[in-house]
Amino acid sequence: MNRLHQRLRLLPREVLKGIRRGLEKESLRVRPDGMLADTPHPSGLGSSLTHPHITTDFSESQLELITGIHADVDACLAELTEIHQIVYQHIGQELLWCTSMPCGLPADDNIPIGQYGRSNLGRAKTVYRHGLAHRYGRRMQTISGVHYNFSMPEAAWPILQQADAQSGPASAYQTGAYFHLIRNFRRHSWLLLYLFGASPTVCRTFVAGRSHGLQERSTGTLFLPGATSLRMGPLGYQSDAQVSLAVSFNSLRSYANSLNDALTKSYPPYEALGLRNGDDYLQLGTSLLQIENEFYGTIRPKPRFRSGERPLWALGERGVEYVEVRCMDNDPFAPIGIAASTMRFLDIFLLHCLLSDSPADTPDEIAAMSRNQHRVAETGRDPNLRLESQGEELTLPAWGRDLLRKFEPIAAALDHAHGGSDYRHALSAADAALANPASTRSARVLEEMERTHDKSYVAFALAQSAQHRRTLMQLPLSAEAKTRYARLAEESLAAQGKIEAADGVPFESYRQEYLSRDLLSGALLRSMS
């Protein structure tokens, strides 16, 4: 019996039923004509600095909607639906853009950057975004997606630690197990791009002034015929500067050391850019990464943050408490950007990553994983596409079928835990998409564009966004929910005011102190030295 089957058999029904997940969904606010909205964050939605469920990402026009933690898929989706309904109460005739690749964009300098108030904390968030704009351009930062936060219940870890015959602190074992999961995720995440990628096409405004290699599908619309997720390819969340950053996920120590170097050592091109232009800050710092969040990855190890903590220090202090999956495109066919079947497939996928063997990564494998990601992003629906695995080449369908076969006992176990057959249905849908590339989400986007929108990306996304608005506005929304979110908005504005009133040092002093903190001094990380 292999490792996967041994550990799956040890996990009781209540542990599998207790898997926790949460969602963070990004969407651009757009005008009814499909152009980016230039209005400020709606005051009725509270403070983007302190609201627990409604904030902004890079742009003032880019909402990020955040659920709590749920042990039930449908409950998680219900909360995200409710947040969307609340947003639509406050944005007038604007729409939430339903796709990951942006709408019609203005000139780069006219894309509004997120504003977070007068506090040092709020100003730092805005300056960080100015740094992103100078380093990568504002257009790239308007790309949106769905982040899936996943964690095992606490009861799982003693069982798995005993099965692995490992001694030592539970937090150290849990952290190592999540890095085990992450390594496997990075090896196999190309499958998620194939199945759920929904960005095979872009508006021409997104690549204005850039070399891109895309083909024209119609006036104003560019694409690649076999693409699944241009968002995750070279045109998406990519950085030439970060190519040199080969982060190892073999341990908390290797990960922390890699990121710490990028966060603390000056990077000559960013040094040349400079820190300030007069009184205006151009970036937070001149290192390869301004802060931890600048590292672009398909998945992140995450601690549960406390106020004022640096993410890397918090990881070193308490270890990994959950993982954040970051490679999922917004689903333009789902009113809130993700469907229950997708979430259930992610549960299966992540459990497989956790419970299967996970050898250490190597620089050669890290490079191969990057090549696999880009190949699937740009040509994933080519049935002859070959990917690299342990020094060999496999066709995408063959490798995918092998993975889905290994997922079967996990789907069965989750169905047994929850009752019903939803997980096996999610697996069957993936199998059908693997057998027929025309049924993948990316192919459906192109087919719908051609069938009803004269091959226009903006026309397709605008029509879908308008339909989603109608669907959401027609759903019942309780008076209690309206009152609750009104209270949250008021409380968030008050919290922002308290933060602003409490500032006692100039911004420059705050910035220097924040960036000078010892990120490798967390108690757990020190214990591993």
What digits encode the pLDDT tens for the residues 30-75?
Answer: 999 999 999 999 999 999 999 999 999 999 999 999 999 999 999 9
Nearest to 18 by CA among 71, 74, 75: 71
Say how far apart CA 111 and CA 133 lie, in whole Å: 10
Nearest to 57 by CA among 28, 86, 22: 28
Say how far apart CA 34 and CA 459 lie, in whole Å: 8
Q: What does DSSP assign to residue 284?
A: S
Give pLDDT tens digits for 328-378.
999 999 999 999 999 999 999 999 999 999 999 999 999 999 999 999 999
Q: What is the structure's pLDDT at 115?
A: 98
Q: Is the distance from CB of 206 to CB of 139 less than 8 angstroms?
A: yes
Nearest to 163 by CA among 3, 37, 361: 3
Q: What is the structure's pLDDT at 1?
A: 57
Give pLDDT tens digits for 219-261.
999 999 999 999 999 988 777 778 778 788 999 999 999 999 9
| 1 alpha-carbon distance from chain centroid | 35
Where does 3-527 sit in CATH, by number?
A: 3.30.590.20
Q: Is the distance from CB of 142 to CB of 108 less than 8 angstroms?
A: no
Say how far apart CA 135 and CA 137 lie, in whole Å: 6
HEC string for 66-118: ECCCECCHHHHHHHHHHHHHHHHCCCCCCEECCCCCCCECCCHHHCCECCCCC
Say how far apart CA 284 and CA 157 lie, in whole Å: 39
Q: Can you list the residues of the chain whose pLDDT is less than 70?
A: 1, 529
**Tokens matching residue 284:** 């937070």
| 389 alpha-carbon distance from chain centroid | 25
Say how far apart CA 99 and CA 198 lie, in whole Å: 8
Nearest to 178 by CA among 416, 367, 366, 350: 350
Q: Which residues pair with 149 in a beta bridge?
A: 22, 324
Continuous segment of H or E residues that includes residue 61: none
Helix (H, G, I), strand (E, B) or coil at 310: coil
